Chains A and B, each alone.
Chain A
Amino acid sequence: DAGVIQSPRHEVTEMGQEVTLRCKPISGHNSLFWYRQTMMRGLELLIYFNNNVPIDDSGMPEDRFSAKMPNASFSTLKIQPSEPRDSAVYFCASSPDLNYGYTFGSGTRLTVV
């Protein structure tokens, strides 16, 4: 199993540009999570899905952030327009179901200049 696959690994973009982060969860995992990690705030849950349905998006910072899971094998996190304060490492994680340990992807390091 290739694990949770995220792309791109690194993204540098200019303020105001649209950014799309991608995630492929482990096959058969029903739950998918998007986290953001910064030094100041640690690991923050942005949104999570169960069986492709968003369960809780209360962690999404503002309307500039949106996430979709069109099918069981793909999810995107979009930031439009991006701002320098969005710079962070964004992790996608999946688990067989809720209340199981998570498998994290390698993350996308986003830098907005």
Chain B
Amino acid sequence: GQQVMQIPQYQHVQEGEDFTTYCNSSTTLSNIQWYKQRPGGHPVFLIQLVKSGEVKKQKRLTFQFGEAKKNSSLHITATQTTDVGTYFCAVEEAGSNYKLTFGKGTLLTVNP
């Protein structure tokens, strides 16, 4: 099945610092989705990227899809305590009829 690597596994930052998580695949992706899961909560859909080199912004969050469509990043500017949670990327397995595989996630903790 589709292998997608997310790094780092954990990131602890001071409030106000920036944060970036990366998602890497060995194969070309048709699209990629990002989700956030708060501790004890459920994954919440953030965004889907489809086009090569695409950049999308949601307030302090910036999402990028690599030119080769093999990697993606999520960047948070000036983190806040409300950003705490695990951020997952999810990719469609090639030829799978839209089967979505989730990465292991990056757990972000923010020190106030």
Query: Assuming A42-B105, A43-B88, A43-B102, is B97 touching A101 (CB within 8 A)?
Result: no
* Complex contact A104–B43 (CB within 8 A): yes
Interface size on B, residues (CB 8 A): 22
B-facing residues in A75-105 (Cβ within 8 Å): 91, 93, 98-105
Q: Hey, which chain A residues are within 8 Å of B101, CB to CB?
A: 45
Chain A 101-113, CB within 8 Å of chain B: the 1/0 string?
1111111000000
* Complex contact B42–A48 (CB within 8 A): no
Chain A 27-60, CB within 8 Å of chain B: the 1/0 string?
0000101010000001101001000000110000
Q: Hey, which chain A residues are within 8 Å of B47, CB to CB?
A: 101
Q: Hey, which chain A residues are within 8 Å of B102, CB to CB?
A: 35, 42-43, 45
Q: Hey, which chain B residues are within 8 Å of A105, CB to CB?
A: 42
Chain B interface helix/strand/loop/mixed: strand
Q: Which of B44, B99, B105 is within 8 Å of A104, CB to CB?
A: B44
Q: For the complex, what is the distance from the CA of A101 to the CA of B33, rounded to whole Å?
A: 7
Chain A interface helix/strand/loop/mixed: strand
Sample of 19 more A-B contacts, CB < 8 Å, known A48-B99, A98-B98: A35-B102, A42-B103, A42-B104, A45-B99, A45-B101, A55-B97, A56-B96, A56-B97, A56-B99, A93-B43, A98-B97, A99-B31, A100-B48, A101-B48, A102-B33, A102-B35, A102-B45, A104-B43, A105-B42
* Complex contact A104–B48 (CB within 8 A): no
Q: For the complex, what is the distance from the CA of A103 to the CA of B90, rounded to whole Å?
A: 13
